[in-house]
Amino acid sequence: MRQRTIILPILGFLAGIAFIYVGDIRLSQDYSVYLAVAAIAGLDSVFGAVRAGLEHTFDPMIFVTGFLFNAVFACLLVYLGNLIGVELYLAAVILQGGRVLLNFSHIRRHLLGKLHYSSVKDSTRAG
């Protein structure tokens, strides 16, 4: 069950990318910033879900609501920035990008810790 919870967010994200790529969807350049910010917010949610799955705290409802809220809030921030003439999308990119990197580093530490623990465990059995 744990492996399934980790794989589902990744599969959903990859399916979305495949849909956009295969569907040949064209957007106006005016919306490119919104799409970029929403994609980074989606990456943040996916890596957060993988991290939560590895830590055994994954909740699908939190993932779905977080995914939607992060994307909508980031796009609203960009929209408000456009209204007042300030490039607020940079704040969204920096914030979400930092969270993506933070979640990725936690995932990496978790997996390396498991790898190290299993190699230490195997070496103590052999000796």
Nearest-Å Rg of the Cα atoms of the chain is 18
CA neighbours closer than 13 Å in the CB half-sphere of residue 76: 6
pLDDT means per 10 residues, the chain with 127 residues, are 63 81 80 87 88 87 89 90 89 90 93 75 59
DSSP H helices in the chain? 2-23, 32-54, 60-84, 89-126
Q: According to the model, what pLDDT value does residue 127 have? A: 52
Residues 6+ apart with CB under 8 A from 120: none
d(CA 90, CA 88): 5
d(CA 103, CA 105): 5
Which of 6, 118, 117 is CA-nearest to residue 60?
Answer: 6
Residues 6+ apart with CB under 8 A from 104: 47
Q: According to the model, what pLDDT value does residue 88 have? A: 85
Q: According to the model, what pLDDT value does residue 17 have? A: 79
pTM beyond 0.85: no
